[in-house]
């Protein structure tokens, strides 16, 4: 990283980056697709990752030619998902990093395309950990006019923690989110799912296999003890 980079804030995506929720989405979407003799695979998943729920639903319904409206698909999906989310767990290395940066006084935010209702279900068993973040901006926040890949959600998150977007470091797992953070002027570290093609992340400053590989001192933060 550029030695002159002095970060004033860190902004994280949530699904597939902080919390291991993506397998739930994949499982439920595949269940619904199979009801209609269709198959949901990674070629489609890679296109919808990080997008707002309704936009993703429209892409799924149209691509798989499901006999449902996007709203009907979401109704079926959410009914199953809300029960599953109580079991979601942090991904490797993320609790360690967020606690470390909190102790160092670095402002941290979450920028998730999830709606507030979904967010609450996901973090229900992780309240103490999520209290480390100064703000959590959701996809249905009234200040977020356009969803990822537009930069809105990252700009709102930076504003709420009082950080200059160009001095923020963002973490993302999705191509759309990486585009959004880059468009907001941020340096972006991508940590894609192992099934994702890394060529889909040209805007990433760095691509890692896991947060456990991240070395804070290379990005202007205090090193781990």
Domains of the chain by residue range: 9-20+88-219, 22-85
pLDDT attached to residue 6 = 77
pLDDT attached to residue 5 = 73
pLDDT under 70 in the chain at which residues? 1-4
For the record, the structure tokens of 198 come out as 């890394």
Q: Name which of 149, 158, 153, 155 is nearest 112 in CA terms.
A: 153
Question: Hey, which residues are catalytic here?
Answer: 13, 15
pLDDT attached to residue 98 = 98
Please give the full DSSP string across 137-190, using - where no structure is assigned.
E-TT-TT--S-TTSSHHHHHHHHHTT--GGGEEEEESSHHHHHHHHHTT-EEEE
Q: Name which of 10, 91, 15, 12 is nearest 51 in CA terms.
A: 15
pLDDT attached to residue 3 = 57
- The domain made up of 9-20+88-219 has a fold known as Rossmann fold (3.40.50)
Rounded Cα–Cα distance for residues 201 and 206 (Å): 9
Quote the Cα angle for 200-10-212, to 5°: 65
79-58-139-131 Cα dihedral, nearest 10 degrees: 40
pLDDT digits (tens, 9 = 90+) for 192-220: 999 999 999 999 999 999 999 999 999 99
Q: Name which of 11, 5, 7 is nearest 135 in CA terms.
A: 11
Q: In what order do the strands lie in the sheet with 206-207?
A: 135-137, 108-111, 9-12, 168-172, 187-190, 206-207
CATH of domain 22-85: 1.10.150.240
Total-model pTM:
0.92
Percent of the chain past pLDDT 70, that is, above it, reads 98
CB contact burial 116-132 (16+ within 10 A = b; e otherwise): eebbebbbeeeeebbee
Cβ–Cβ under 8 Å, residues 144 and 156 = yes
pLDDT attached to residue 4 = 62
């Amino acid at each position: 990283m550029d030695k002159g980079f002095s970060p004033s804030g860190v902004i994280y995506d949530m699904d597939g980056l902080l919390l291991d929720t993506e397998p739930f989405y994949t499982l439920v979407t595949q269940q619904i697709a199979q009801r209609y003799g269709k198959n949901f695979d990674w070629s489609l998943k890679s296109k919808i990752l990080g997008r707002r729920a309704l936009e993703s639903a429209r892409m799924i319904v149209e691509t798989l030619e499901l006999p449902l409206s996007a709203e009907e698909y979401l109704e079926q999906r959410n009914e199953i998902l809300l029960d599953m989310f109580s079991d979601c767990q942090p991904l490797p290395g993320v609790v360690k990093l967020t606690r470390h940066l909190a102790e160092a006084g670095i402002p941290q935010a979450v920028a998730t395309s999830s709606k507030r209702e979904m967010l609450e279900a996901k973090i229900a068993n992780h309240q103490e950990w999520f209290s480390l973040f100064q703000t959590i901006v959701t996809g249905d926040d009234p200040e977020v006019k356009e969803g990822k890949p537009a930069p809105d959600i990252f700009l709102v998150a930076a504003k709420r923690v009082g950080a200059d977007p160009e001095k923020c470091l963002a973490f993302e797992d999705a191509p759309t989110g990486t585009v959004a953070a880059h468009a907001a002027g941020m340096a972006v570290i991508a940590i894609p799912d192992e099934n994702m093609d890394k060529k889909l992340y040209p805007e990433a400053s760095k691509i890692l296999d896991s947060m456990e590989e991240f070395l804070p001192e290379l990005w202007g933060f205090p090193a781990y003890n």
